[in-house]
Structure 1
């Protein structure tokens, strides 16, 4: 390496803070994990300029591609605080895959973007191996990605993540909520924790409370409860769709229960939700208590224990619920779709 302070010394990219060799070493480290995500349709391996994927035309008559993109938000700052980087990649995949799943799409492939000020190989490897794990959980190929080393843009140890998923659904099986009517039931699948939403508020609660992340909270520590990776619902929901009609799906992400279910409803429809219909995980009780957060704010910021809601015809709700239980799922009937009242209120908590 040259002397970057000597005006007569030739400069290299490494003098500017970018280590090409480290980037190449990372690619070699992650190749085994990436290959474990490959599925039918993958046409290329890691390292090319683009990833190729072919849709199975024997399986789909009129395929429609569905895409979704997201990040992990300030949950990354908590991962850095706790020096735990092996699950944050699962969050990244989950936030994208669960969104396209809400259209009834089967995830096909995923691409990630990892940006940092200085590439730390062990840290980056943990993150990307977590991404590969998320892809395995959703049967989604990690088809490629980008690692960007940008000195001066990020502080020491900082990094950012973004990604996108592409899935496919038969045109006549797209789930868009058009068949949802008053009387449909809301069948809910539990979350694994806060998932990847509301972490700016979570960090504020941690700051205000002065709590030690290692403190016990139920069967885990507070830190473990807050860093629990976002649950991926792909295998359960896709298996259910093979034999049962689901007229609407809502991924409970930013905006919580209050704002996400109505996204798949017509303007004349709303929901009634019974907040006593499911057990709320300890971490949400702790957040509300320590932050002095009002109940309405909890329900429009956090998932409060519900990660995915299925909107099902009332006559089929018991059958669908039984099918989910046969898969080993906990499922909660949390309410129903209703016609919007004269006051225009679309979400009513009981």
Structure 2
């Protein structure tokens, strides 16, 4: 009789154990006050600071999407972990919450410990940039579920905010100023279209582009805004924030403003990075489609009172952000009118 084992079925318990040991030093660098225990337990423990009188937990979950297909194609696995963190922590941030911990899920058909280590090292880097702890996660080896050399990622972020300081957009009013924080590129959205554009254009991923290569500009990791925004929240009032992901400015900004308000954004208020111009030209993409698919160079929108506009801009610049005055809030005359228009 053939003697079977888990290893013979395609799952290496030893490789999984080795990965856990390798990532422990990366996770340790992300630890912050409140973390109880260490990587390797069945559940992760976190104690909420007693500085909060009425703490409210804010959660977010997301993946990296088809940007992973570029990671596979280009053998670039070092930055998609930061993308994973960014997509969730930036969402949690817009409620005014401080991200406190993050969990990751890595699944594959056959575990390559070296590649997985590179990915999780990027996750830890993202957590450091966000100021939160990589408190736990899961690695799943599932033979037959994925093509050889491929994997999938999911992330889960938890933040905390004082109940009285939740930013929910209810304070937004006509006359408020709309600021935009620069993105680092396409971030992690629109990559199904990006891959199609590169395919039909016949472009070489490694061709020189905008001071680097095309692959460099497209794989640039998603910018994490947590530390800079939390610092600015201590200095100026913020009425609303929107993380600009799939749907772009025109679909994400309306999610955080009242029905009676409309945001008007001026198209010439910021210089769109070259990568977006190239994508539009090579793909023959319509202006409206560009606005609905990509962030077009703006990764986070912040709405502040008009009288706080200059102070907010100066504060963001001190924190290293490139900030633009995009437009203003006006009354929405008809409920059927869009919540955000770009003119």
1:243 aligns with 2:235: yes
Once the two structures are superposed, residues 307-330 of structure 1 have per-residue CA deviations (whole angstroms, 9 ceiling, x without a partner) of 001001112111211222233322
Match of 1:265 among 249, 257, 260: 257
User: Which deviations, in whole Å up to 9, do the C-alpha atoms of 1:130-166 show, x marking residues without a partner?
Assistant: 0000000111100000000011100000100001000
3-state SS of 1:316 partner? helix
The correspondence of residues 156-167 of structure 1 with structure 2, limited to 5 A, is 156-167=148-159
Return the match for 2:337 from 334, 344, 350.
344
Counterpart residue number, 1:21: 14
Aligned equivalent of 1:319, options 308, 311, 318: 311
Give me the whole-angstrom Cα distance separating, in 2, the residues matched to 1:328 and 1:345.
32
Report the 3-state secondary structure (helix = DSSP H, G, I; strand = E; otherwise coil) of the residue aligned with 1:132: helix
How many angstroms apart in 2 are the aligned matches of 1:88 and 1:221?
17
Counterpart Cα distance in 2 of 1:113 and 1:325:
35
1:231 aligns with 2:223: yes
Task: Report the 3-state secondary structure (helix = DSSP H, G, I; strand = E; otherwise coil) of the residue aligned with 1:315.
Answer: helix
Q: 2:66 aligns with which of 59, 71, 74?
A: 74
CA–CA separation in structure 2 for the residues paired with 1:215 and 1:222: 6
Residue 211 of structure 2 is aligned to residue 203 of structure 1: no
Partner of 2:171: 179
Corresponding residue for residue 222 of structure 1: 214
Q: How does 1:54-203 map to 2 (within 5 A)?
A: 54-57=47-50, 59-203=51-195
- Matched residue count: 342
Once residues 78 and 311 of structure 2 are traced to their aligned partners in structure 1, the CA distance between those partners, rounded to angstroms, is: 38
> Which among 318, 323, 338 is matched to residue 331 of structure 1?
323
Residue 282 in 1 paired to residue 274 in 2?
Answer: yes
- Provide TM-score, normalisation by structure 1: 0.96
1:347 Cα deviation from its structure 2 partner: 2.6
> 1:327 and 1:123 mapped to 2: Cα distance?
33
Q: Judge conservation of contact 2:250–2:342 (CA < 8 Å) in 1.
A: no
Which has the larger displacement, 47-56 or 332-341? 332-341
CA drift of 1:265 comes to 1.0
Give the secondary-structure state (helix, strand or coil) at the position aligned to 1:276. helix
Moved over 4 A (4+): none
Equivalent pair of 2:81/2:126 in contact (CA under 8 Å): yes
Q: Name 1:41's counterpart in structure 2.
A: 34
Larger mean CA deviation between 264-273 and 16-25 belongs to 264-273
CA distance in 2, matches of 1:327, 1:73: 29
1:344 positional shift = 2.0
1:205-240 deviation digits (Å, cap 9, x = unpaired): 111111111111111110000000000000000000
Q: Structure 2: which 5+ runs fail to align?
A: none
Q: SS at 2:45's partner residue?
A: coil
Displacement after TM superposition at 1:345 (Å): 3.4
CA distance in 2, matches of 1:276, 1:329: 19
Please give the root-mean-square deviation of Cα atoms over the aligned residues, in Å. Answer: 1.0
Q: Cα offset for 1:101?
A: 0.1
> 1:212 matched to which residue of 2?
204
